With several copies, the nearest count.
Chain A
């Protein structure tokens, strides 16, 4: 060991800090929130440079009175709005139920998306069914919009005999080919660059489908994100690259990933529009996604979308955020709750009321309970039944080679 062991170094190294930590008051004073309707909506064929301001702004449609304002208003029908609200409520009901089941020992693991429901729900609604989704682990909303049976989702989370991926992955690492929902990876970031390849293949085949991928703010540091930006830009891939900036990466604040500007700003360096949107504003998220999808389908290439939101719950059931962030931070989050905001809008335009809302909530709760009761019949991780043990050796290759057959025999299954 040859290191200098003298002390006396006076560090000048800058290390980012969190805006608040336990025992500090929440501090969102640096967050500059433009009024709803303030951002202009460029044409979908605008040159990337012309969209620069959107990277530093925050596209918002819903104002504090529940009114939809400005160019970005996607003009959805009341039915569409109600549908969106119901999907978000379903996601929340599902999350609540599953979280509780994990706490009761029925699931090995769970992750909620509380406060971020608008992201996946509005984005999925703005896309078409042939578009391919490359989600991270916090976009369960996509599955609700695409119509995946809750029973199947639960069976996956239980790793039981009806789990479509045969008990092979942690809960919430869904895969659903029928719904063009890609198999979720536990490795952060890896799929965003794959999504670009998928989109390139779509163009190669002359098809109109676009891809959409999601990463978190923390994951914006991953090399794969850079590859995605780089390749998408080089080949003008019809790809939507989404960053869900929920302010935290486990215990690490976004200041470690955001490098002093916005995530959306990173797009300009690749001649790509980068748009920052209020992620808790269902209408704004819908509108921006629609814009980017249209742009991609028209052949004008990819868009980076930064969805500005907040992770209300713990990172996962293995995490306790009280150890690293202020208890009241979620409550202080200035962009509100996406469900409440869409509800307020629907009420403001006379298309919804509290009673209807309560009824849907009750219905969803019952639906989750019923599905859970059904799902657990097909088994659970600890109690079984699972798939037959021999399933472990399948799908490593399309056809099982000799050495795996032998290993299966050695195990006696």
Chain B
């Protein structure tokens, strides 16, 4: 099986579907001739033409609106928003239109639009190239929200997303495009080729939406994470030598509540991790959900390890980014009790 980094895996997902279905096209800023600022659409312009790897003006709201209209007219657009930080100009179109089309028309209309967007920090991108806005989208009914943590999942989930007849917001943690990141920025990163999840089939396969993955089974505490934080959490668990069960959510909505409940009911403890700011982040929903489904099993307060409630900083990136240390502290706090 070929080794792919996450960029190549995403590219391959789009390529495979464009090959199979002329209704699939990719569109966004710099995605055509140039192949995307992160190169995720490289080669698609040459292979499928300017109208299927479609460069677009810098108007995220216009791009999403256009994709909605295309989706209504039988196409299956895959939109790239250059950075998740720039998804807000499209917010109204996503929330008021894309998400509600099917429902408000009594099922008459819908638009199978996938919105891909690189998110998250750890790349010295400052406050406008580092945000993690996923939580907000999980509050909008009618959207599915996905965030993969490795190339294999990225390709399989993106194929599922594009083929899904509902709109999907597909967040790509850019910090791990080229290789996993354990939170230690002093260490040289390893490419995905060195990891089993970097082995990605060339052809068509799916990873289903709505199913979490148990990355590491364990019995003492359940760790819920997604995207880059899966790797930071895994390293923290390793470093601290804790028998934690690490769950990679993969899809935030619909959430795999069964896998989560089963785990927490077993371990009785839970730590929730994300890069996004804390207050009203997706971690809040996870805590609420877990305490509802597992209250009688809980042996300690559920802990949240998150970004702080500040704009994403430039100079203090590593003080902001949830570190192994903060994760270990949180795990240990939950373990202290009995």
**A residues apposed to B, CB below 8 Å:** 1-7, 9, 11, 13, 15-18, 21, 108-109, 132, 159, 163-170, 173, 175-177, 182-183, 185-191, 193-202, 204-205, 211, 218-219, 221-224, 226-228, 230-231, 234, 249-252, 256-257, 318-319, 323-324, 381, 386-387, 389, 391-398, 401-404, 407, 411, 413
Contacts and interface: CB of A to CB of B under 8 A. Distances in A.
A250 B30 contact: yes
Contacts of A11: 49, 51
B142 A397 contact: yes
Interface of B: 20-25, 29-30, 32-34, 37, 49-51, 54-59, 61-62, 65-76, 85-86, 88-89, 92-93, 96-97, 101-110, 112, 124-129, 141-142, 144, 163-166, 210, 253-255, 257-258, 278-279, 308-311, 313-316, 319-320
B306 to A, nearest CB: 9
B21 A3 contact: yes
B54 A224 contact: no
A109 to B, nearest CB: 7
A257 B92 CA distance: 21
B165 to A, nearest CB: 5
B97 A170 contact: no
A187 B75 contact: no
21 contacts: A2-B165, A165-B108, A167-B313, A168-B127, A170-B129, A175-B105, A182-B72, A185-B128, A187-B89, A187-B128, A198-B70, A198-B73, A201-B74, A218-B57, A218-B58, A231-B57, A251-B34, A251-B55, A323-B34, A324-B34, A396-B142
A170 B236 CA distance: 29
A249 B31 CA distance: 12
Contacts, number: 291
A231 B62 contact: yes
| Chain B interface main SS type | loop
B104 A194 contact: no
Contacts of A251: 30, 33-34, 55
Contacts of B97: 185, 187, 190-191, 194
A413 B88 CA distance: 32
Contact of A231 (B66, B104, B164, B309): B66
A381 B314 CA distance: 8
A272 to B, nearest CB: 15
Nearest to B323: A411
B106 A193 contact: no
Nearest to A401: B254
B104 A230 contact: no
A168 B65 contact: no
B319 A398 contact: no
Contacts of A381: 124, 314-315
Nearest to B160: A1
Contact of A173 (B30, B104, B109, B315): B104
Nearest to B95: A187
Nearest to A161: B315
Contact of B107 (A170, A204, A256, A394): A394
A228 B105 CA distance: 22
Most B-side CB within 10 Å, residue of A9, A227, A323, A398: A227
- In the A-B complex, the 10 residue pairs with the smallest Cβ-Cβ separation, listed nearest first, are A197-B69, A167-B315, A186-B128, A227-B62, A221-B57, A251-B34, A165-B106, A193-B65, A197-B66, A183-B105
A398 B74 contact: no
A198 B107 contact: no
Nearest to A400: B254
A168 B66 contact: no
A36 B128 CA distance: 41
Given A197-B67, A396-B311, A15 B55 contact: yes
B102 A398 contact: yes
Nearest to B258: A402
Contacts of B51: 11, 13, 15, 204
Given A197-B67, A200-B66, A170 B93 contact: no
A114 to B, nearest CB: 21
A158 to B, nearest CB: 9
Contacts of A190: 65, 92-93, 96-97
A407 B66 contact: no
A94 B229 CA distance: 39
A3 B57 contact: no
Given A164-B108, A227-B65, 16 more contacts: A5-B22, A15-B55, A21-B33, A183-B104, A183-B108, A183-B109, A224-B93, A228-B62, A249-B29, A251-B34, A256-B57, A318-B37, A395-B102, A396-B103, A397-B166, A402-B258
A46 to B, nearest CB: 25
